[in-house]
Amino acid sequence: MAILYWFIVICTIFVFAVMLWRLFQIFLLFFHKKDAIQKANIVSDDELLSVTILVPAYNEEKVIRRTLATLEEIEYPNQKLEIIIINPKSTDRTSEIAKEVASKSSKNIKVLDATNGFEVHGKPRALNFALKKASNEVIIIFDADSIIDKKAVKYLVSAMAKNPSLAMTFGARKVLNPHCFFARLGYLESLTQQLLTETAPPKGDKNLLFSPGTNVAIKKDVLEKLGGWDDNALTEDFELSVRLHINKYKIEYVPSAVTYEEVPERVSVWIAQRTRWARGGWQVFWKMVKNMEKNLKSRKVKFTNLIVFYKLLEFYAPLFGLILEDVLFFLGLAEILFFGGIGISFILWFVFYLSLVFQLLLCLLYVRELNIENGFASFVIYFYYQLWIFIAMRVIWLELSRSENKWEKTKRFTSA
C-alpha cells in the first residue's frame, strides 16, 4: 500500500505541475492581451522585401482554385512578388487548374512540375526543388488548402523589414471547417496550442517559437546557409525551427497575418496526420539527443542547445500528464469497484479534468468564441486527447519495427 500511496503522490505532483504551468500560460495570455490584439504596423511599399510564395500542391484539385483566388487578392507590389505552385506528379487535375488560373492572372504565378521523389519525401523535397527556382529575398510557404488574408504577406514581411535580425516570421492559423463535431474538437486543440505556445509568451529575443509549416516567411539567404529543408524530415517545419534556434537565428509570431486551414473531419485522417507529426517530432527530438551526446563527449555543450532541448521536452509534458491522469482515473475506478467508495484517486482525477475544461473555456473566452457548441466540446475534449496515447503507441511501434518514413498526404474535405 505504501508503494501505491507514493505512486499516487508522484502522479498528482506531475499532473498538478503541468496544469499549473498551463494556467500560468493562460494568465500570461490575458496579461499581454493588449499587445497581442494590437495590429502590427505595415511598412511602406518601398521598404517591403521581395517575396517568393511557395505552395506545394500534390493532388489538390479540390482546393487549389480557391487558394489561387485568395493569392490573387493579396495586397503586395506585383514587381516584388512571385508565386510558385509546386506540382509534384499530381495524378488529378491540380496542374491543369493551376496553369489555367495562372494564364489569366495579373499576378506573377508559375506552375512548377517537380520530378524529384516527392512521393517518398513529400513536402520538404518539393520545397527544396522550388527553392532553386525562387528569385526573391523572402520565401513564404502556404499550404494548398489555405485561405489567405489579403494583408497576411505584408504583415509577415513588415515584421522583418522593421527588425532585420529576424530570420523567420509566422502568422495565425484559423480553422476553416469546424462544422462537424470531430473537426470542432480539432479546432479547440489548434486554438489552445496557438494561444498557449505562440500568443501567451511575451515577445523577446529569448522566446523560442517553432514554425507551424504554413503561413511562414523565412529569409532566403538564411535558408540557403542552413542547407534548405531536411528532405528526410516528416515535420520539416519543426526541424528547421530547431536548426534556426541552435544557430541563434530569431523567430517572431505575427498574429495579424491570418490564414484559414482545414482540420481533419475523420478519425482515420486525423490519425494519419498526427502520426506523421508525432513521428517527425520524435525524429527531431532523437536527433537533438544524439547531438547532445556528441557535444557532451567533446565538452562543447552550448547553452542554446540546452534551452532548445528543454523546449522539446516541454512538448511531451502534456502527454505524460494525460497518461498519469488516466492512471488516477483507473485507480479511482478500482477503488469504487473493489472498496465500494470514491477514493482520493478519483477525486484528484476529477479535479484535474475540471481544470482542463476550465483552461479551454478561458481560451474560448479570450477569443470571444465561447458558445454552447464550443462549451460542450470543452467537456468532451479530454476523451479526444486519448487518441494521442494511441498515436504515441503507434509511433513507438513504427520506430521499433523500422517502418519506412514515408510522407502521407492529408485528405481534404472541402472543395472549391
**Residue 22 is part of a domain; what is its CATH number?**
3.90.550.10
Amino acid 271: pLDDT: 92
176 or 8, greater pLDDT: 176
Mean pLDDT of the chain: 84
Reference 55, options 17, 6, 15, 97; nearest CA is: 97
Separation CA 329–CA 122 (nearest Å): 40
**Segment 333-367, tens digit of pLDDT:** 887 777 766 677 888 888 889 989 999 999 999 98
Specify the number of domains making up the chain: 1
Task: Determine whether 32 is exposed, middle or buried from the number of CB atoms within 10 Å of its CB (0-12, 13-18, 19+).
Answer: middle
The residue with greater pLDDT, 280 or 7, is: 280
Reported confidence tier of residue 277, pLDDT bands at 50, 70, 90? confident
Banded model confidence at residue 293, pLDDT cuts 50, 70, 90: low
Question: What average pLDDT does this structure show over 263-272?
Answer: 90
**Which range of residues forms the domain containing residue 155?**
1-416
Q: Is the pLDDT of residue 81 over 60?
A: yes
Q: Taking the model in full, what pTM does it have?
A: 0.87
Nearest to 369 by CA among 231, 195, 113: 195
Longest dimension (CA), the chain: 76
pLDDT at 104 over 70: yes
Distance, in Å, from the CA atom of 211 to the CA atom of 237, rounded to the nearest integer, reads 5
Query: Which DSSP string do the residues of 213-254 spell out, in sequence order?
Result: SSSEEEEHHHHHHTTSS-TT-SSHHHHHHHHHHHTT-EEEEE
